[in-house]
Chain A
Amino acid sequence: MKDFILFTLIVVAGTGGELCVSRAMKSVGEAKGFHPVELARLILRALREPWMWLGVAMMASGFFALLGALAALPVSFVVPMTALSYVVGVFGGVTFLKEKVTRQRWIGVALVALGVSLVLLGRR
């Protein structure tokens, strides 16, 4: 049960955090260049977005959950399981950011899900 909670936190908080940061950055707009002043302005604009703070908090929670999982389980099991974030990310992109997903991407996500299932089966 503890492992299930940790993996849910790693995948959902990590991917949810990335989606929130992505949403914040879409509101902020693209960088016009890589000049330090322009980048600093972009960062300041991003810090004014509540989605950015929520995203960073979720990503930090995901990282600490990863440390918790690594304390109890083998690295060769924990890291492949984190690939589930691709599956959650695509579903999150479709529902939360209204993105369109190509057939090729769905095939990739299905392969990741199949691979993770095999890793789970192999560990039992």
Chain B
Amino acid sequence: MLLVTIVAMPFGNVMLGMGMKHAGTLSIWPLNMLWLTALHIFSTPAIWIGVAALIGWFISYALVLSWADYSFVQPATSLGYGVTALLSWLILREYVSPIEWTGIAIICLGVFVVGRTNLKTTAHPAAATEIAEQA
């Protein structure tokens, strides 16, 4: 289930990217063109696969959070940035330069570090003392 959580969002983003590339020119003005653009976007199968994957991600994320701590799940999902680049390279044949791979790895590390910090930073002083005593 954790694997689904890590892969579903990158896969959804890749599918949205694929769908939007096929949607052609996007016009938002005049307003009737906005309607036509929306119709064009939402008649692309890849967009619906992407939306379904993002809904799947949300459900799996909620399920994982029901049995695992957020401070464990959030750092694990930091891998998503790397998985997105990998899937873009594999499915969409996008070129990712070595500098970009390095940057993406550092982003994963940064998100991992952010996720390992305390969730609540505005705890009531009494509660904070209680937590410190328990520790």
Contacts and interface: CB of A to CB of B under 8 A. Distances in A.
Interface of A: 66-68, 70-71, 74-80, 83, 86, 93, 97-102, 104-105, 107-123
Contacts of A79: 10, 13, 81, 84-85, 88
Contact of A123 (B100, B108, B117): B100
Interface in B36-61: 41
Contacts of B84: 75-76, 79-80
Contacts, number: 137
A123 B114 CA distance: 25
Contacts of B111: 83, 86, 108, 112
Interface residues of B, number: 43
List the 6 closest pairs (A to B, CB-CB), nearest first.
A118-B103, A111-B110, A108-B113, A122-B99, A115-B107, A115-B106
A71 B18 CA distance: 8
A110 B59 CA distance: 31
A18 B113 CA distance: 20
The main secondary structure of chain B at its interface with chain A is helix
B26 A86 contact: no
Contacts of B121: 93, 99-102
A119 B110 contact: no
Given A75-B13, A98-B122, A109 B110 contact: yes
Given A75-B94, A115-B110, A80 B103 contact: yes
B134 interface: no
Interface string B107-135: 11111111111100110000000000000
Given A75-B84, A86-B110, 7 more contacts: A76-B84, A77-B100, A108-B111, A108-B114, A109-B114, A122-B103, A123-B100
B6 interface: no
A34 to B, nearest CB: 9
Interface of B: 10, 13-14, 16-17, 20-21, 23, 26, 41, 81, 84-85, 87-89, 92, 94-100, 102-118, 121-122
B122 A76 contact: no
A119 B64 CA distance: 30
A115 B105 contact: yes
Contacts of A77: 100
Given A118-B99, A118-B100, A119-B104, A76 B88 contact: yes
